[in-house]
A and B are shown apart, each in its own frame.
Chain A
Amino acid sequence: MKKLVSILVLLVSFTFTSNSYSKTEIHWWYGNSGFLGDVIIEIANRFNDSQDEYMVIPTGKGSYEDNMAATIAAFRAGDQPHYSQVYDAGAAIMVAQVKNGVVIGFEEMADKYGISVDADNYIPGIKNFYADEDGKMIGVPFNSSTCLMYANMDILNEVGIEEVPKTYEEFEGMAQKIADAGYIPLLQSHSPWIWTENFFSRHNLLMTDGNNGYDAVPTKTLFAETDAFVMHWSKVKEWYEKGWYGYKGRAWGDNQAPFTNGEAAFWFGSAASFGGMKGVLPNFTTNPIPYWDSVTGGKEYPTFIGGAANWILNGHTEEEYKGLAKFIEFMGSPEMDLYYHNMTGYAAVTKGGIELAETINFYRTSPYHKAVGDQLGLEGSTIPGGYRAGNWPQIREVIYENVEPMLNGDISVEKALGNMDKGSAKLLKQFAKTL
């Protein structure tokens, strides 16, 4: 009897001391893991410590694809989180779901629950990437990266190269020197993202019809009919055969590893990739991705935003949305934006964050962080700041499937790009039927 009483007392005291029960819970699902996942948990913790009413509970679901699949499955089961991180390739699907009442747009949320962070406070390139056709921001910008060129300065010094290449022409001029010294001149980690999608943005070229899907639902990609793109892959194939470019399969890490180990001079990866390199590779820099001088005539254009945004999902209570609005406000503050920028290398997404970085002279002490803003902040593009094409994850798969036989010489460059167009057109048609 005594035992029973003490257990009861214990239980009762638990209920009263743990205040998490009295707080409104807000669920946030994400698709980052490792260090990036830890930072997300830290952000939630900081918010939870900053006030007593609400509690954000972050849950990692694996990769971006896993999180998107999990979010959709949860929605279909009526058990969706309040806030979910969905990546660039899924943006078209999420924006299309506003009309079905799956997603609540940021601006609607801001109007209803009074978020003090304005849509215009986010930098235009990023804002437009996650906006609908009327320019209303739907997704809330979060981890925004782009592809950058990493350079191993020790190797460049060793072979006597003073400046990193700005253009692919300059790269061609120095590649043989690097190869002769026994290093791999160039590696890159994502053929669809870096050398397809961002090839088009970097050179101010349209990737699909319908103005990249912003004016009309796209029906085809413009790979084979874009001469510059054909030229680029012909060159890449040539480099591959000469040993100037090393292909290490589809896995991101397998292509990054030789660079991190000091075996390659240049590597194209994400702005958020340097975390694992700091302290391992002694002397490296981050730089804008090269472009073909012959294509742009010496002009530089910004690349697309990569990474992901957070999306507000429908079907929860007023009180919970009030809490979420507070959380969005918290994350959009200059301090948190700069904190995240500093920790991960993702771009600062708010104007406030960028101003704060400037006032404290952030880039003097953290030069790695500068290239991403420089490249995304370029002006003069006449194409949209993104693409609205459905089934894009599968189109990326089609691109991969044709890059490999192209590099090993099974099919010609023209044939490979033609195959990509054919495969993409079918997938785009399939997606158009579901609209």
Chain B
Amino acid sequence: MKKVQFKSTYSQYFFLAPQLLILLIFLYWPIIQTFKDAFTMQDAFGFSSQFAGFDNFLFIFSDPSYLTAFKFTIMYSFIITLITGSIGLLLAVQANKVMHGKNVYKTLLIWPYAIAPAVVGVMANYFFSERYGLLHHLFNNLWGFNWYEDVFDAYIYVIIAGSWKQISANFIFFLAGLQAIQKTVIEASIIDCKSNIRRFWTITFPLLMPTTFFLIIINITYAFFDTFGIIDTTTIGAPGSETKTLVYKAYIDGFKGLDLGSAGAQSIMMMLIVLVITIFQFRYIEGKIHYN
């Protein structure tokens, strides 16, 4: 085999330069800046900036509302992943069976995916408004719903608001996954097994594993980062700090509180969390998945 080799001139650097420049300016510079913020103590305007060691990290870990946000974020991403994944899968399986008007179903179910999280939050706001909210009235008649005060009720609020749009994302990927499964495999399985449900769990679902794995990562990152707009337009972290995600907490401390040191330290913690989750998933879960 002939080795392809470009003649070494400086032209390749020239062509790479725009890309590298963009990466440097928009990716590496902010990251370096974040590290700098996390390890310094500075006033809002950036004068009197001094090295603080791990003070900012100690500060956030001694802050009870940071620990609450930590726990909430883990729980929130777990529940969102579970809910959106299972409902998305259910809808995809059902939509895949439909013979007539398939495209209409598909389009309608995909639509919510195009809506920005902040807009979803504003819509949820209407549904959960004490004055004219349909869901508020429904839940209130069932058990006396009050998300201003009750932590459990606030969870329900942000979980419904956060899941709704992401169900569409799950739906579209599961549907694509289902359609990629070879007809012959399905047909062969029909001969071997009568039970629809058993066939699904033993043949279809294992073949969907790559999609599921992909969606778990997507859903977790969504719940971690993209739900910011939803929290900001629904509960703003109340009651207490029970519905603050880590991103929202970093925003409040950094932008509203103007404490860049603490916000920087929180950003680095988030980076570490995402790193750990990703390593864990690729190490222990992906090994059990068989790609075709």
A residues sitting closer than 8 Å to B (CB atoms) are 65, 68-69, 72, 75-76, 93, 96-97, 100, 102, 247-251, 254, 257-258, 391, 393-394, 397-398, 400-402, 404-405, 407-408, 419, 423, 426, 430, 433-435
| A400→B257 CA distance, assembly (Å) | 14
Chain B residues whose C-beta falls within 8 Å of the C-beta of A400 in the assembled complex: 238
Chain B residues whose C-beta falls within 8 Å of the C-beta of A402 in the assembled complex: 240
User: In the complex the two chains form, is B236's CB within 8 Å of A251's CB?
Assistant: yes
Chain B residues whose C-beta falls within 8 Å of the C-beta of A394 in the assembled complex: 252-253, 256-257, 259
CB proximity of A369 to chain B, nearest CB, Å: 30
| A75→B241 CA distance, assembly (Å) | 31
| A67→B155 CA distance, assembly (Å) | 31
| A12→B122 CA distance, assembly (Å) | 47
| A407→B238 CA distance, assembly (Å) | 13
User: What are 22 A-B pairs with beta-carbon distances under 8 A?
Assistant: A72-B45, A76-B45, A100-B47, A248-B148, A250-B238, A391-B259, A393-B258, A394-B253, A397-B65, A397-B241, A397-B252, A401-B240, A401-B241, A404-B148, A404-B239, A405-B240, A407-B149, A408-B150, A423-B65, A430-B41, A434-B42, A434-B43
Per-residue CB contact flags for chain B residues 25-62 toward chain A (1 = under 8 Å, else 0) read 00000000000000001111111101010010001001
CB proximity of A410 to chain B, nearest CB, Å: 8
User: In the complex the two chains form, is B257's CB within 8 Å of A397's CB?
Assistant: yes
| A352→B89 CA distance, assembly (Å) | 71
The reply on B245 being an interface residue by CB < 8 A is no
The reply on B226 being an interface residue by CB < 8 A is no
Out of B131, B252, B258, name the residue touching A72 (CB < 8 Å): B258
The reply on B255 being an interface residue by CB < 8 A is yes
Within 8 A of A (CB), among B232-267: 235-236, 238-241, 252-253, 255-259, 261-262
B residues sitting closer than 8 Å to A (CB atoms) are 41-48, 50, 52, 55, 59, 62-65, 130-131, 147-150, 235-236, 238-241, 252-253, 255-259, 261-262
User: In the complex the two chains form, is B44's CB within 8 Å of A93's CB?
Assistant: yes
Chain A residues whose C-beta falls within 8 Å of the C-beta of B59 in the assembled complex: 426, 430
Out of B42, B43, B64, B256, name the residue touching A69 (CB < 8 Å): B256
| Most-contacted residue by chain B among A100, A393, A400, A434 (CB, 10 A) | A434
User: In the complex the two chains form, is A435's CB within 8 Å of B258's CB?
Assistant: no
Q: Which 5 A-B residue pairings sit nearest by Cβ, starting from the closest? A: A404-B239, A394-B257, A249-B148, A434-B43, A408-B149
Chain A residues whose C-beta falls within 8 Å of the C-beta of B259 in the assembled complex: 391, 394, 430
CB proximity of B161 to chain A, nearest CB, Å: 15
User: In the complex the two chains form, is B62's CB within 8 Å of A426's CB?
Assistant: yes
| A434→B262 CA distance, assembly (Å) | 12
Chain A residues whose C-beta falls within 8 Å of the C-beta of B55 in the assembled complex: 433
With A72-B45, A426-B59 as contacts: A65 and B148 at CB distance below 8 Å: no
| A312→B271 CA distance, assembly (Å) | 38
| A65→B254 CA distance, assembly (Å) | 11
CB proximity of B187 to chain A, nearest CB, Å: 56
| A426→B259 CA distance, assembly (Å) | 13
User: In the complex the two chains form, is B238's CB within 8 Å of A249's CB?
Assistant: yes
Out of A65, A405, A423, name the residue touching B239 (CB < 8 Å): A405
| Most-contacted residue by chain B among A249, A257, A423, A435 (CB, 10 A) | A249
Chain B residues whose C-beta falls within 8 Å of the C-beta of A434 in the assembled complex: 41-43, 48
| A308→B35 CA distance, assembly (Å) | 34
| A256→B220 CA distance, assembly (Å) | 37
Chain A residues whose C-beta falls within 8 Å of the C-beta of B47 in the assembled complex: 97, 100, 102
User: In the complex the two chains form, is B45's CB within 8 Å of A97's CB?
Assistant: yes
| A42→B50 CA distance, assembly (Å) | 44
User: In the complex the two chains form, is A69's CB within 8 Å of B130's CB?
Assistant: no
User: In the complex the two chains form, is A404's CB within 8 Å of B41's CB?
Assistant: no
Chain B residues whose C-beta falls within 8 Å of the C-beta of A426 in the assembled complex: 59, 62-63
User: In the complex the two chains form, is B150's CB within 8 Å of A100's CB?
Assistant: no
User: In the complex the two chains form, is B256's CB within 8 Å of A404's CB?
Assistant: no
Write the chain B residue with the least CB distance to A395: B257
User: In the complex the two chains form, is B131's CB within 8 Å of A100's CB?
Assistant: no
CB proximity of A97 to chain B, nearest CB, Å: 6
Write the chain B residue with the least CB distance to A407: B149
User: In the complex the two chains form, is A408's CB within 8 Å of B43's CB?
Assistant: no
| A247→B240 CA distance, assembly (Å) | 13
Known: A394-B252, A404-B148. 16 other contacts (CB 8 A): A65-B256, A72-B45, A93-B44, A97-B47, A100-B45, A248-B130, A391-B258, A393-B258, A397-B65, A400-B238, A401-B65, A401-B241, A404-B240, A408-B239, A430-B261, A434-B43
CB proximity of B56 to chain A, nearest CB, Å: 9
| A250→B231 CA distance, assembly (Å) | 13
User: In the complex the two chains form, is A65's CB within 8 Å of B255's CB?
Assistant: yes
CB proximity of B235 to chain A, nearest CB, Å: 8
| Most-contacted residue by chain B among A76, A393, A423 (CB, 10 A) | A393
| A248→B255 CA distance, assembly (Å) | 25
| A96→B48 CA distance, assembly (Å) | 12
Write the chain B residue with the least CB distance to A392: B257
CB proximity of A409 to chain B, nearest CB, Å: 9
| A400→B235 CA distance, assembly (Å) | 13
Chain A residues whose C-beta falls within 8 Å of the C-beta of B42 in the assembled complex: 434
User: In the complex the two chains form, is A93's CB within 8 Å of B43's CB?
Assistant: yes
Chain A residues whose C-beta falls within 8 Å of the C-beta of B148 in the assembled complex: 247-249, 404
User: In the complex the two chains form, is A69's CB within 8 Å of B65's CB?
Assistant: no
With A65-B255, A394-B253 as contacts: A250 and B45 at CB distance below 8 Å: no
Write the chain A residue with the least CB distance to B238: A250
Write the chain A residue with the least CB distance to B257: A394
| A247→B150 CA distance, assembly (Å) | 12
CB proximity of B125 to chain A, nearest CB, Å: 9
| A408→B152 CA distance, assembly (Å) | 12
CB proximity of B101 to chain A, nearest CB, Å: 42
CB proximity of B51 to chain A, nearest CB, Å: 12
| Most-contacted residue by chain A among B63, B255, B258 (CB, 10 A) | B258
CB proximity of A153 to chain B, nearest CB, Å: 23
Chain A residues whose C-beta falls within 8 Å of the C-beta of B43 in the assembled complex: 93, 96-97, 434-435
Write the chain B residue with the least CB distance to A398: B65
Chain B residues whose C-beta falls within 8 Å of the C-beta of A435 in the assembled complex: 43, 48
| A430→B265 CA distance, assembly (Å) | 14
Chain A residues whose C-beta falls within 8 Å of the C-beta of B241 in the assembled complex: 397, 401
Chain B residues whose C-beta falls within 8 Å of the C-beta of A69 in the assembled complex: 255-256, 258
